[in-house]
Chain A
Amino acid sequence: MALLEVSHLSKAFGGVKAVQDVSFSVDAGIIYSVIGPNGAGKTTLFNLVTGIYTPSEGEIRLEGRPIVGEAPHALARLGMSRTFQNLQICMNMSALENVMVGAHLQLNRNLLSAMLSLPSLARRDRQLREEAAELMRFTGLAAYLDTRADAMSYGALKRLEIARAMAARPKLLFLDEPAAGLNPKETEEIDELIRKIAESGVTVVLVEHDMKMVMNLSDRILVLDYGKKLTEGTAAEVRKNPDVIAAYLGAHA
């Protein structure tokens, strides 16, 4: 059974059909990429699968369990986590605290024990601080351990999103354009990081424009165009597909 199964998924915004009848499945342990020209519906697809939007039609299953209509916070409980294309960092908090928020579900969230700072809660929190610092080192943010989020560079914030998503200990991690706006060296580092994440046993679903990165990393690739599935296959298969070439370079290329 695939980890994630999406069947006949559609989403319309008024008259605009952003995603139309898209089906695909992601096996556990792989890196799965979604590509397509601008406006192809990649981010909409992400928002549908992660519960930000509700699909107009279609079915999504995580480990066989239907998840359409579940709120994002409920999906987090089932082992989904994600980053955002347009950064969603809590600028009112430190970098480390942003990562600590990622571990929300593993903690004692009781209001009264928090106010009274019960020893068990305080102990777990100290431990979490250490774990979050470890994740920041893992994502290459060792230099920002004591930094406020609003004092960090764009490239570092991109990694901070990944560190926060990893703190949730996901089975399935969605990365929405992790390399967008980064220079070639930074992109290479993100490439390396995604590989490390996949090796740690997390299934990664990636939306990315950087073709070199996608072709290098992906076990399978889904190509979208105008909200529809164009093709799906391994990097080698997708690269040779005439429809994909047409979509990227124009119909008569």
Chain B
Amino acid sequence: MKRLFHPGLVLLAILLALLPFTFGNSYYYDVAVRIAMNAVIVIGLNLLIGYAGQISLGHAGFIGIGAYATGILTTHAGWHPLAAMAAGAAVSALLAVLIARPIFKLKGHYLAMATLGLGIIISIIINNEGQWTGGPDGMSVPTLSLFGIDISGETRWYGLMAGLLLFSVWASLNLIDSPFGRALRALHGSEVASQVVGVDVVRYKVAIFTLSAVFASIMGSLSAHYIGFLTPGVAGFFHSIELVTMVVVGGMASVFGSVVGAAILTMLPQLLATLEGWETVAFGGILILTMIFLPRGLVPTLAAKFGRKA
């Protein structure tokens, strides 16, 4: 419980509580909700990439599974949103476990290629199964209603997502400082050394891959309700890359870095919209500069500079 008072967590809570006072209109809430959704996914992905040292270039696939499970089960089958969300998470977890066993025998570029393939396959299935998913035309998703309360409107979504974000940060900080988390970081540092003290390396890789897939799936379900309309792009390759970029820019092996990375890369397209056709160029430029000058990512670099542990 001691980490309930982790200074970063307290700061984040205060920030999330105060932010609405600076919001001029619902557009700000909208951006904040999208940031929080991405942040939770990126926190999960950072556990896999930053802490355990494994890569996934197909994580948007799990967002797609969650989103379309919600879309299909609530509209075609009339399921309760929570049941649909749980079903999506279960499918994602099952797929992650089944796929992870064979692919985590691979390392480096080969693992990257395998996860890339996984994401692309999921995306193709969503595109092709038009009678369920609406194919490239997309499908609409009903409003989320929890315990008789409609979660509609940006302020309610903001409250829900702020809560979920704080929970994710708290749980992840706990995780990395636990025996499980140390085993993850140890297999990143030296696989053979962690093996000889009893760490079943493959089991841990599978477990963290599955956990991050579940994070992504649940956020996929929520974003489907929030946006109210789904297109296959949610599961696409570019979305996966965007998520990995958030991990890298914010900082590998940094929970708060994940939040910062998600915030920056979610806001950036909005800020750069005035540049019209040039926004992707500016986007790329910022990325290149980050890689050159802040290779460890924003938060770890700044934390090292000011002598604090991220």
Interface residues on chain A, number (Cβ under 8 Å): 46
Partner of B198, one of A77, A84, A88, A111: A77
> In angstroms, how far is the closest chain A Cβ from the Cβ of B174?
4
Contact A104 B199 (CB under 8 A): yes
> In angstroms, how far is the closest chain B Cβ from the Cβ of A152?
13
Contacting chain B: which of A60-68, A94-102, A191-199, A231-239?
Answer: A94-102
Contact B182 A97 (CB under 8 A): yes
Closest chain B residue to A91, Cβ basis? B189
Partner of A100, one of B174, B182, B188, B200: B182
> In angstroms, how far is the closest chain B Cβ from the Cβ of A75?
8
In the assembly, what is the distance between CA of A227 and CA of B195, in Å? 26
In the assembly, what is the distance between CA of A147 and CA of B20, in Å? 41
With A73-B198, A92-B185 as contacts: A52 and B179 at CB distance below 8 Å: no
Contact A114 B178 (CB under 8 A): yes
In the assembly, what is the distance between CA of A82 and CA of B194, in Å? 11
| Interface SS of chain A | helix
Contact B182 A73 (CB under 8 A): no
What is the size category of the interface that chain B forms with chain A? Answer: 20 to 34
In the assembly, what is the distance between CA of A97 and CA of B182, in Å? 7
Q: Which residues of B contact A109 (CB under 8 A)?
A: 179-180, 183
Contact A88 B179 (CB under 8 A): no
Contact A82 B183 (CB under 8 A): no
Q: Which residues of B contact A52 (CB under 8 A)?
A: 192, 196
Q: Which residues of A contact B185 (CB under 8 A)?
A: 90, 92-93, 97
Contact A114 B179 (CB under 8 A): yes
Q: Is A119 an interface residue when CB atoms closer than 8 A count as contact?
A: yes
Q: Is B190 an interface residue when CB atoms closer than 8 A count as contact?
A: yes
Contacting chain B: which of A27-35, A163-171, A203-211?
Answer: A163-171
Q: Is A253 an interface residue when CB atoms closer than 8 A count as contact?
A: no
Contact B174 A89 (CB under 8 A): no
Q: Is B2 an interface residue when CB atoms closer than 8 A count as contact?
A: yes
Q: Which residues of A contact B253 (CB under 8 A)?
A: 92
In the assembly, what is the distance between CA of A76 and CA of B172, in Å? 28
Partner of A122, one of B1, B190, B194: B1
Contact A89 B189 (CB under 8 A): yes
In the assembly, what is the distance between CA of A15 and CA of B139, in Å? 62
In the assembly, what is the distance between CA of A64 and CA of B253, in Å? 43
Contact B196 A76 (CB under 8 A): yes
Q: Is A72 an interface residue when CB atoms closer than 8 A count as contact?
A: yes
**8 residue pairs bridging A and B, Cβ less than 8 Å apart:** A73-B199, A81-B196, A90-B188, A92-B185, A103-B197, A108-B179, A117-B1, A125-B178
14 additional contacts, CB 8 Å, given A76-B197, A101-B193? A72-B192, A73-B199, A77-B198, A89-B190, A93-B189, A100-B182, A101-B199, A104-B179, A111-B180, A114-B174, A114-B178, A114-B180, A115-B172, A168-B197
Show the binding face of A for B, using Cβ within 8 Å.
50, 52, 71-73, 75-77, 80-82, 84, 88-93, 97-98, 100-105, 107-111, 113-117, 119, 121-122, 125, 149, 161, 164-165, 167-168
